[in-house]
Chains A and B, each alone.
Chain A
């Protein structure tokens, strides 16, 4: 069965520092991969998505993610973190279940940003 693992439950970085959030997936074929951000009291917002082509994907708010098939990873990065980036980040993969596809989610990584 498809699954998504986010190894880091909680990460704290200083404002201005670089950030990398890890995501590993278990899936037989080329997956459809997503990163979402969830701020307190806000809905989930799509940061970026990957399904084919260039393995480095650019998203909103200065985020990018790199798909590495050999490592089954889709890590999220940002070169310089802002205080407003403090939120919960979720990696997700679309299952390939015929017409009834589902989004399978990781447990999330909570990001705190120190001033």
Chain B
């Protein structure tokens, strides 16, 4: 079956441009997560949706970052006025539930990521 897909796979932006990154989660997955992975680093949590509700956005680095999931499926991460430090791979993951349920941890399924380069 189809996994998590992300588009575009690569994006080059000039500093100051706005970008929009798309995530298509696995059908039926309630939870959706966005992560930022800088070169040589582990992923860093950005934000979490349960259906259309954004339950946690504590990881968004600035108010230039905005995420939405209006119908509880596809999500878009938007970065306004991009800066060079925004260059990273942006990962999307989905799961049936949150990170942990009564039976223990819930598996997240990751997309291939979008590599953003800001010049």
Interface residues of A (CB under 8 A from B): 4, 32, 34, 36, 41-46, 49, 51-52, 90, 92, 94, 99-108
A44 CA to B41 CA, complexed, in Å: 13
Residue in chain A with minimal CB distance to B58: A100
Interface residues of B (CB under 8 A from A): 3-4, 33, 40-45, 48, 55-56, 58-59, 91, 93, 98-100, 104-105, 107-113
When distances are taken between beta carbons in the complex, the residues of chain B under 8 Å from A45 are 110
The 10 A-B pairs at the shortest CB distance, nearest first, are namely: A105-B42, A51-B104, A43-B110, A32-B105, A44-B110, A101-B99, A100-B56, A43-B112, A102-B45, A94-B99
The answer, among B55, B59, B107, B112, for a CB contact under 8 Å with A46, is B107
Closest Cβ–Cβ distance, residue A66 to chain B (whole Å): 17
